[in-house]
Chain A
Amino acid sequence: MLYYIFRRVLMMIPTLIITSALIFAIIEAPPGDYLESYIAELQAQGEAVDTAKIEYLRKEYGFDKTPVERYFTWVSGMFVGDFGYSFAYELPVTAVVGDRIYLTILVSMATIIFTWLIAFPIGIYSATHQYSWNDYGFTFLGLLGLATPNFLLALVLMYLANVWFGTSIGGLMDPRFVGQPMSWAKFLSVLDHLWVPVIVIGTSGTAGMIRRIRANLLDELQKQYVTTARAKGLHPFRALVKYPLRMSLNFFISDIGSLLPAVISGAEVVAIVLSLETTGPLLISALQSQDMYLAGSFLMFLSLLTVVGVLISDIALAYLDPRIRLSGGVRK
């Protein structure tokens, strides 16, 4: 088992190196760089361009070097926690992302938990009561949830909240807490605002997951070992949880790998609509203004999450399923 984990961690390294090269290449691909678009913007506004300052910046941030050199500077910086400099904010990337990363993680985790809490009972119910009226009802709701664009749902909820509660639910906390240090009151305010983005971001994921749990469980319910469990005299619910449900978890665990980045990157548009202080809007504006180190570091972060997510799901799978654990050449 340890060897298995070791090997998997080792395999992450080349993956990440290749990803970083790809990310860098894609960000470099559009013509021009941040400084050029900055100059163009200044000129458009009719302001004088300080050539000396531009030259200084060009040197300082290595735009006079070749892309390959810049790539290595960027990558080697990441190892010591230096993710580069955000031109637009005129701050180091770490400072810009800072707080937002925690809020992002909070929103994402809450969304994932929300998804599981809703999807599991409904999925199990639908599978065990296949073709009942409730099953059809959940299926309908699920398809509705899948089909509704997130940002639309966000707008609708904002409108309704305003009409019903008379409050603005935009943002992740009351405006007076923004920039304040963490406190109990701020925490409560965050919780107060959290439910809207969680519902908005989680709805389609929940709907999809209900469908998948239902389909997987239905497959497993046909299997012979379910009959064996019934023939043993097990209570139907215990038999359900111990055997088919456990087996249908495999898909769910391998899902975790893609869940982490999907939740975080899928929330950008919603975050803009709801003006959440998460990292999503940051990434979009960074890409727009060719703020390359901010965007690049951000994408790297997403890839890291993906790779770690896949690792976690693989380890969990190996732990849960002896066929993976024992037939992969590893003996316990």
Chain B
Amino acid sequence: MQEGEVLRVSDLKVAFDVNGSPVEVVKGISFRVCSGAVTAVVGESGSGKSVTAQAIMRILPRNGAITAGSIEFRPESGEVTDVVQQMANGPSMRALRGSAVSMIFQEPMSSLSPVHSVGNQVEESLRIHARGAGMSRKELREATEETLGLVGFPNPHRAYDMYPFEMSGGLRQRAMIAMALICRPALLIADEPTTALDVTVQAQIIKLLKELQDKLGMAVLLITHDLGVVANMADEVVVVYDGRVVESGPVEDIFRDPRHEYLKALLNAAPHFDMAPDHRLAALRGGNRGVIEMTKGKVKRSQPDDRPLLTVSGLSKIYHLRRASIFGGPAKVIRAVDNVAFTIRRGECLGLVGESGSGKTTVSKILTRAITPDTGTIIFDDGDEQIDVLALNERDLKRFRPRLQMVFQDPVSSLSPRMTIGDILREPMQIHGQGSRSEQMARAKDLLSSVELGVNALNRYPHSFSGGQRQRIGIARALAMNPDLLILDEPVSALDVSVQAQVLNLLKDLQAEMGLTYLFIAHNLAVVKYMAERVAVMAAGRIVEIGPCESIFDAPAHPYTRALLKAVPFADIDRPLVLDELVLKGSSDPRNWPDAFRGEMAELAAIDLGEGHQVLARQTADIREFHA
């Protein structure tokens, strides 16, 4: 080990026992982490990056084992330990874990025990390690609250007694960080620490991790797939592909002068804000696509025109929570959707952006009549007749359903594992009684080729397909009914960057060929910019800003939109995150917005800024507010 290194991994190999035969997942990875610096390990899912982290902590699943290599670790004491030589659960390894090396995980929702208070779980790390030995209960609690304050809990004393389910995702991740840092480790391993979080919360956590790293002088091993996060945090980068390091070096070299084809492709595959409108993402893996014959028996879809296909107005959905006590008190009301109005023109893609809990999924469920709104109308105009979607009766609704189809976020759970792909694709046709069995099979083949999958997929089951392939099957299923409008609910957020580019390109091609209209729901702004012509931004159940893509991205008028745009990390080391007050305070909470944008729906109006760009604000708002 060289001077200044905290961790040196040399030629690490890890194999898993799969049904009796060993499968090598990590095939010789080497890298180092220097004290006070961040090393990022970048790769796709399945590249072996998380397994490497588990190997360092010696918390591999029971069927996994380190087969070769060394993991040398040198904490502040200066004594070098080869982690590989230790017993995984022996006293020496347990003394290191959680104390000198600690780890935070991707899922703040499930990483904490739901039945123990946050204080209990954070304090436990201190209690079982040397640092907390001999402390009284009072001292332990004080130390815990101090760390909770350090990671940004506004009221550590209260947070100590709270349970994880009472907290937002961001606060839970802060609690995880507190747990990892309470013993002041020499090395923090962060495994996708921000992937499950909303953009603005991600920005806060990135900032927090950087500040803490400075303050505590620890080394960080960051494991991620997001090059934007890497550009903002890392000093050194290790790119892993299929269990091997394909490129490594200082962050400058990696971004300015990528050498390996895989890294170059990865940098090109991610959509970003500076794309030209006609830019096309370079997918890492291409495929041959058949053009689907959609017009069979029915000529439709004229040129895109200005007559809206879908007109939504005054949509509201209110949830009443149970009363807080028998002694009354006002019943709590949640406005999941608050007076939402928008139109989608034929042949266009409208992006719907917002954080979790902003109401965007509720809107999509209302459109498909899965949820009944309290007020509002939805008019679907197919050119021949106007359909009032919310007024349809059972029979007409069934006739209407093929016009409006959906693609879901999770490619794993949205396909039944017990049905073959052929059955999955034929099911909508069976439900609506379209065609004979052979016609349905022929159509299923067409659909498969249109999403770049071979005919041999028909008799296979979903589990034999990758995430990207499954998502394409989901798209094919949605197309089976020849729909006019496709609601895409976070269709790529569960996919790797390389696969994401492929699916996005596919969606674009299908739209152009078939004249489809999209409602594209996403939290990734770059993806929305790539896909959509117009964007609607949702926060707290309201559409706070809507307009053409360029004006929203270039001249955002609403403080929330601005915060959202500022919080996106760029895969560009020359454009680090600069976070303003609003992002740090929590930009999705209307209470933090300036006066001109706050208030009941009745006091606000959609103010037109030209070219269809509208922002929700008070009528009396100063125009300068919109050009900050």
Contacts and interface: CB of A to CB of B under 8 A. Distances in A.
A53 interface: no
Interface in B91-122: 93-99, 102-103, 105, 107, 110-117
Nearest to A231: B103
The winner among A223, A233, A321, A331 for most chain B CB atoms within 10 A is A233
B326 interface: yes
A3 interface: yes
Contact of B324 (A225, A243, A329): A329
A233 B163 contact: no
Nearest to A227: B59
Contacts of B166: 326
Chain B: interface size category: 35 or more
B232 interface: no
A323 B322 CA distance: 15
B165 interface: yes
Nearest to B117: A322
Interface stretch (B124-132, B379-387, B417-425, B601-609): B124-132
Contacts of A161: none
Given A230-B97, A233-B95, A329 B179 contact: no
B113 A230 contact: no
Interface string B527-551: 0000000000000000000000000
Interface in A210-251: 223-225, 227-236, 242-243, 246-247
A124 to B, nearest CB: 16
Contacts of A242: 113, 116
Interface in A301-325: 320-323
B94 A321 contact: no
Interface residues of A, number: 28
B129 A233 contact: yes
Given A233-B98, A233-B99, A326-B166, A224 B115 contact: no
A327 interface: yes
Nearest to A6: B326
A134 B110 CA distance: 31
Nearest to B114: A323
Contacts of A322: 114-115, 117, 163, 165
B105 A233 contact: no
Interface residues of A, dominant DSSP: helix
A95 B59 CA distance: 63
B437 interface: no
Contacts of A246: 113, 115
A232 B115 contact: no
A224 B98 contact: no
B456 interface: no
A228 B99 CA distance: 13
B263 to A, nearest CB: 30
Contact of A243 (B57, B94, B113): B113
A247 to B, nearest CB: 6
B89 interface: yes
Interface string B158-190: 000001011000000000100100000000000
B165 A323 contact: yes
Interface in A227-278: 227-236, 242-243, 246-247
A11 to B, nearest CB: 14
A118 B306 CA distance: 74
Nearest to B332: A329
Interface in B42-68: 57, 59
A63 to B, nearest CB: 46
Given A224-B105, A225-B112, A329-B324, A235 B59 contact: no
B323 interface: yes
Contact of A225 (B93, B111, B322): B111
B155 interface: no
A327 B321 CA distance: 11
B115 A329 contact: no
Contacts of B393: none
The winner among A224, A326, A330 for most chain B CB atoms within 10 A is A224
Interface in A1-56: 3
A247 B114 CA distance: 9
B325 interface: yes
Contacts of A330: 325
A224 B110 contact: yes
Given A3-B325, A225-B112, A246-B115, 7 more contacts: A3-B326, A229-B113, A230-B57, A232-B98, A232-B124, A321-B115, A323-B163
